[in-house]
Amino acid sequence: MAAHGSGRDSTKPTRAEVESLIDASHVPSADSSSTTPLARVRFLLAAVTVLAVTTFLAILAWKTANPVVVSPAQIEVADDVIIGQVMDAGENRIRVTRVFKGAIQEGREVRVFNLPDTALVADREYILALSPVRRDYQVTVLNNRGIAPPEVLIYPVTSETIDHVKRLVRSPSLPDVR
């Protein structure tokens, strides 16, 4: 450092001092071969393990999120339980493709009065619990004793919902909820 009377700021280091500090604290560059092959293998192993665990957890969350729950009471009180393909959502036309319960015949096209408009996609299949109304049908709704408007429940066709409906149709009768 320079003396007090030299006319230079004493808190500012000289160029030679800065260069000596840089040389003393030299950090190897990223392209140097200071890392050992074993360290690289450990890093890659850790990275692959983290990726595998993260992928497993994401798949697990995706598969178990928002499961469809079929109403046992609705299946019990319905006269017919079917898989039906939406033919014309505007006309509420459904083609029966499979029957779990009831006397309705496969291949028959029926009109269902109270289908929810927003939930239906043409040419898709849904599981429907139906009750006859004259020559047509309606989705079976449970009596909620006037507390709220009855909810019309339809179910997507998946292997899980099909298995659940099969179990409910075979199970012993539930208490009467009509």
| 80 shares a domain with 146 | yes
Among residues 46, 65, 84, the one where a domain terminates is 65
Beta bridge partners of 93: 88, 111
CATH code, 142: 2.40.50.120
Classified as helix, coil or strand, 56 is: helix
Q: Is residue 24 part of a domain?
A: no
* Most confident segment among 64-68, 98-102, 138-142, 170-174: 98-102
Mean pLDDT along residues 104-114? 90
- The total domain count for the chain is 2
Report d(CA 34, CA 96) in Å as an integer. 71
Mean pLDDT of all residues belonging to the chain:
81
Residue 103, judged by CB atoms within 10 A of its CB (0-12, 13-18, 19+), counts as exposed
- Full residue range of the structural domain in which residue 44 is found: 33-65
List, as one string, the DSSP characters of 88-117.
ETTTTEEEEEEEEESSPPTT-EEEBTT--T
| 137 shares a domain with 117 | yes
**Least reliable range by pLDDT among 4-8, 91-95, 140-144:** 4-8
Q: Is residue 178 part of a domain?
A: no
At residue 118, the pLDDT reads 62
At residue 143, the pLDDT reads 75
- Express as a percent the part of the chain with pLDDT over 90: 32
Residue 176, judged by CB atoms within 10 A of its CB (0-12, 13-18, 19+), counts as exposed
| 102 shares a domain with 43 | no
Q: Is residue 175 part of a domain?
A: no
| 82 shares a domain with 57 | no
At residue 2, the pLDDT reads 47
Among residues 43, 65, 87, the one where a domain terminates is 65
Confidence category of residue 146, pLDDT binned at 50, 70, 90? low
Q: Is residue 25 part of a domain?
A: no
Mean pLDDT along residues 62-81? 85
| 160 shares a domain with 83 | yes
| 76 shares a domain with 164 | yes
| 146 shares a domain with 161 | yes
Q: Is residue 78 part of a domain?
A: yes
Largest Cα–Cα separation, the chain: 112
Q: Is residue 150 part of a domain?
A: yes
Q: pLDDT by residue (tens digit) across 11-68? A: 787 887 777 777 655 555 555 556 788 889 999 999 999 999 999 998 888 877 777 7
At residue 177, the pLDDT reads 44
Q: Is residue 147 part of a domain?
A: yes
| 161 shares a domain with 89 | yes
| 86 shares a domain with 165 | yes
Report d(CA 85, CA 88) in Å as an integer. 9
Please state the pTM of the whole predicted model.
0.59
| 85 shares a domain with 51 | no
Q: Is residue 28 part of a domain?
A: no
